[in-house]
Amino acid sequence: MKVLVTGAAGFIGYHVARRLAELKKCEVLGVDNMGDYYDVALKRARLAELGALEDFRFLQADFADAEKFAGLVAHFKPDYVVHLGAQPGVRYSMENPAAYTHSNLAGFAGVLEACRRTPPKHLVFASSSSVYGAGATPPFREDDNTDRPVSFYGATKKANELMAHSYALNHGLNVTGLRFFTVYGPWGRPDMAPTLFARAISEGQPLKLFNQGKNLRDFTYVDDIVDGVVKVLLYPPAERPTPPVRIFNLGHHRPIETLLFVKMLEQLLGRAAQVDLLPPQPGDMLETCADLTRVQAAIGFAPKVPLEEGLRRFVEWFRGYYRP
């Protein structure tokens, strides 16, 4: 079995590629453009971990280069494709929308076209809880209206779902989109809340909490996300829907206030935070919470790692990697 994973040097991509490469008789090809949105040394460190696995290979390439990527897919002929590569970050999409147009729109179009030319058994791609946007009422359900994203990042992920629908309808691609909810854990990105907060607490720096720290987030441990990705990928529906496209939430279904999240980190790090409470930030959603009814019925998905345990594992990795 051959699996192509884009974004393999990224946070979730690293964990998914690792899980797949550790399966018996699963050959994994990881692809990443090694962009410098954040410290490339962290991406290299992830790849060094993956490089020790016998069934993992890596190729630096940009899936937004449509013709080259299509040639790569045609040569490798993957049985399955997991598309996790993207330009991430809600707030950065306000500053540099062109990066999101390149990776999330043109890039995803290149992935779809490559899969049309060399069809895998199943294409699974990362969407986001950011698609729900304004007017969504928690817990968010997959059939809720998603026509009012509050960030450009969310808009590009909504566009991805529509693009996938058109390719499934017109070309028969078997596609599943996964809306991730606030993923955290070891090897997380430095621009994400857990690492930002942990570094500020460890260094005694002010920690900015928007909306007075009252934003509610459905923090989901990365191992639970990986469980969902792999189960969805390897077990597509026995009867193909028409068109053959599905959308699932992957979350924890237990949102907490970011201020409480910080207090939990304080206890684990043994230091008090210098909290700066600020007004709401443009582009931020005030609350996220995943309804898991659909994905539980389809693959039996149920998150297993409570926030207390997940944060303990994150802090252990954080101390080992950053040595604050």
Mean pLDDT in residue range 173-188: 97
DSSP class of 153:
H
| Chosen CATH of 2-187+220-252+288-305 out of 3.40.30.10, 3.40.50.720, 3.40.630.90, 2.60.40.1510 | 3.40.50.720
Assigned token pair, 48: 């060094």
Domain residue spans of the chain: 2-187+220-252+288-305
Is 290 in contact with 251 (CB distance < 8 Å)?
Answer: yes
Q: Report the SS3 class of residue 257.
A: strand
- Catalytic residue (one of 14, 80, 153, 221): 153
Mean pLDDT of 51-57: 97
Average pLDDT score over residue span 157-166: 97
Q: How confident is the prediction for the chain on average, in pLDDT?
A: 96
pLDDT for the residue 90 = 92
Q: Look at residue 5 and tell me whether its pLDDT is greater than 80.
A: yes
pTM: 0.97
pLDDT (average), residues 42-51: 98
Q: What is the pLDDT of residue 238?
A: 74
In this prediction, residue 33 has a pLDDT band, given cuts at 50, 70 and 90, of very high
Instruction: Give tens-digit pLDDT for 195-253.
Output: 999 999 999 999 999 999 999 999 999 999 999 999 999 988 777 788 889 999 999 99
Residue 13 near residue 164, CB atoms below 8 Å: no
List phi, psi (to 5°) of 263. Answer: -60, -35
Mean pLDDT for 129-135 is: 90
| pLDDT at site 236 | 83
- Pick from 147, 172, 143, 145: nearest CA to 159: 147
Evaluate if residue 173 carries a pLDDT over 80.
yes
Residues near 97 by beta carbon (within 8 Å), at least 6 away in sequence: 152
CA distance 252 to 184: 11
Q: Which residues of 188-199 are buried (b: 16+ CB within 10 A; e: fewer)?
A: bbeebbbbbbbe
Q: Are 290 and 250 in contact (CB under 8 A)?
A: yes
The answer to whether 153 is a known catalytic residue is: yes
pLDDT score at 135 = 78
pLDDT mean over 80-102 = 96
Q: Extract the tokens encoding 265.
A: 């980190």
